[in-house]
Amino acid sequence: MDLFSAMKDRKSARAYLDKPVLRKDIDEIIGFAGLAPSAMNLQPWEYVVTHGEEKNRLVRRLIKAREVRQVPCGPGTIRPLPAKYSGRTRKSFFLMEPCIAELTKSFSAFIEMGSCSFYGAPVAIIVVIDRVFPKIRFLDIGISVSYLLLAAHAKGLATCPIGLITAYSEEIADSLNIPDEKEILLGIALGYPDHASPANRFKIPREDIKEIFRWYD
């Protein structure tokens, strides 16, 4: 698969087959994530991978924490979003909602429960960074995560980045023995996509290129 096709075709999957992912494939995908460039070659990314009974234990813990705290899926901004951004989210909601409605009545419950259970994927990856780093290093992590998502896609696997679980960082850290000096930035579901599920039927569009760049000459 060439890089441009991978970039165009990759999409987040929210339903997975009950099919294990080989350890060597996970190693290879994480290896690609580690090839990303980083400021001063710091390579500040760290990936905590869990599967099998350990992943199930983490999911049970997250679901329990969600039952208590019910953190909604939102942009987490300090002010209401300008219309330009909220419009993009609304557009994707209108695309996703009719498909999710075939599975369950509540869209938000689907996303919140699904996120906390890594949408049933056999592998859950937790992305962490040492707190010694300033927030600007999150940028390096984002680049590495992009490599990971594309590498997984190129191997016929699917992913879903899951930011929502950071609301339950304490439970994740406790469950996986992640020390205090590490900050949890993201979860990633990894597995073989269930193409038959309505949850994977849509492809979220992007803005026209003219909306995202300015050209000066």
Ligand X SMILES: Cc1cc2nc3c(=O)[nH]c(=O)nc-3n(C[C@H](O)[C@H](O)[C@H](O)COP(=O)(O)O)c2cc1C
Residues binding ligand X (CB under 6 A) = 11-12, 14, 73, 92, 111, 115, 160-164, 186, 204
CB of 215 to ligand X, least distance (A): 25
HSE (side-chain half, CA atoms, 13 Å) at 112: 18
Which of residues 98 and 163 has its CB atom nearest to ligand X in the complex?
163
Which of residues 114 and 122 has its CB atom nearest to ligand X in the complex?
114
Which of residues 143 and 204 has its CB atom nearest to ligand X in the complex?
204
**Which residues partner with 158 through β-bridges?**
191
CB of 15 to ligand X, least distance (A): 11
Task: Give Cα separations from 140 to 28, 76, 163 (angstroms).
Answer: 19, 21, 16
CB of 161 to ligand X, least distance (A): 4
Which of residues 23 and 203 has its CB atom nearest to ligand X in the complex?
203
Structure tokens that stand for 13 in this block? 């999957």
CB of 22 to ligand X, least distance (A): 24
CB of 34 to ligand X, least distance (A): 19
CB of 11 to ligand X, least distance (A): 4
Structure tokens that stand for 112 in this block? 């919140």
Which of residues 115 and 175 has its CB atom nearest to ligand X in the complex?
115
CA distance 185 to 128: 6
CA distance 121 to 162: 12
Task: Give the single-character DSSP code of 163.
Answer: -
Which of residues 14 and 51 has its CB atom nearest to ligand X in the complex?
14
CA distance 55 to 79: 35
Three-class SS of 4-46: HHHHHHCCECCCECCCCCCHHHHHHHHHHHCCCCCHHHCCCCE
